[in-house]
Amino acid sequence: MIKVENLSFGYPGRPLLLEDLCLTLEQGHIYGLLGRNGAGKSTLLKNLVGLAFPRAGQCLLNGQSTAKRLPSMLEKVYFLPEEVYVPALSGGQFVARTASFYPQFDGASFQRYLHEFDVPLHAVLSQLSFGQQKKFMIAFGLATNTNLLVLDEPTNGLDIPSKAQFRRLIASTLTPERCVIISTHQVRDLDNLIDTVVVLHQQRIVLNEDLEQLAEHLTFATVSPAHAHEALYAEDSMRGQQAILPNLTGRPSKIDLELLFNAITAPNQALTSYLNQPSYVQSV
């Protein structure tokens, strides 16, 4: 569905932030995009949806370059930026003016999502709290039924019950035709939601893996310091060494996304080498 081909991007007068980056995203999946602060997650998402323009390479949505911003592409994409902008209109007025850009918009579902988030439809949007504004725009985005839903830090500003509602709603609105990509540095917010993890690090995508496959091939465990040398990655914790090891049991392990992220972005590349072994690549 989305194909990023050899994308190089830099802001004017600045060095490249993304270099020769390649990425494929398929429909029917929820991707979690992780990266350190300033890694370029928001910038990559803006390139995906045609709001930033590469110096080289391209982003294709169903074969169409997103940089061309053709209406036939824009109606298939909903992008929620990290900082939402809302006009001084009621929710109803906002929908009346913008829903027509999205031919698959479903008003009844929109009202249901708003109800679940406990956000009033008739309030003036600019007078809502930041969290309510964000929930309004998430509900609107879900109701557009676009093939591609791109959410940049959607859980920023959401309280704890809203984060759980957010996870439930996203999971319940995934269809085989839809692709959702969510960037965050609140890794725990993606637990039990995403099925594929994508890591952006040092200008490139260094991981794009199905979590079920990872759970079958890796074990996340606490080990004693004496066994830490057997791990692909280990770090100190209050309870001993939190470690990632090859999964020799055949039983899926519960993935610790934070540990996985730390391991993939660590200078020690044992985990990356393990995932690039021909025996692992052939088994997935």
Binding residues (CB under 6 A) for ligand ATP: these are: 11, 14, 17, 35, 37-43, 185
- Min separation Cβ 241 and ligand ATP, Å: 28
Q: CB 135 → ligand ATP: shortest distance, Å?
A: 20
C-alpha span between 127 and 166 (Å, rounded): 22
Q: By the 8 A CB rule, do 128 and 86 touch?
A: yes
Q: Say what angle helices 130-143 and 107-117 make with each other, to 10 degrees.
A: 150
Between 12 and 176, CB nearer to ligand ATP: 12
Closer Cβ to ligand ATP, 185 or 227, answer by number: 185
Closest separation between CB of residue 21 and ligand ATP, Å?
Answer: 13
Pick 9 or 274: Cβ nearer ligand ATP: 9
Q: Which residues contact 35 (CB under 8 A, 6 or more apart)?
A: 41, 183, 185, 199, 200, 201
Residue 227 CB, shortest distance to ligand ATP, in Å, is 34
Q: Decide whether 112 or 204 has the Cβ nearer to ligand ATP.
A: 204
Q: Tell the smallest beta-carbon distance from residue 19 to ligand ATP (Å).
A: 13
Question: Do residues 59 and 50 make contact, with C-beta atoms less than 8 angstroms apart?
Answer: yes
What is the nearest approach in angstroms of ligand ATP to the Cβ of residue 260? 17
Write the DSSP symbol of residue 227.
Answer: G
CB nearer to ligand ATP: pick between 114 and 180: 180
- CB-wise, 18 or 243, nearer to ligand ATP? 18
- Pairing relationship of beta strands 77-80 and 64-65 according to DSSP bridges: unpaired
- Give CA angle at 70 (66, 75), nearest 5°: 90
- Contact status, residue 123 vs residue 91, Cβ threshold 8 Å: yes
Residues 5 and 157: beta-carbon distance below 8 Å? no
Beta strand 218-223 with 204-210 is: unpaired
207 CB neighbour count, 10 Å cutoff: 20
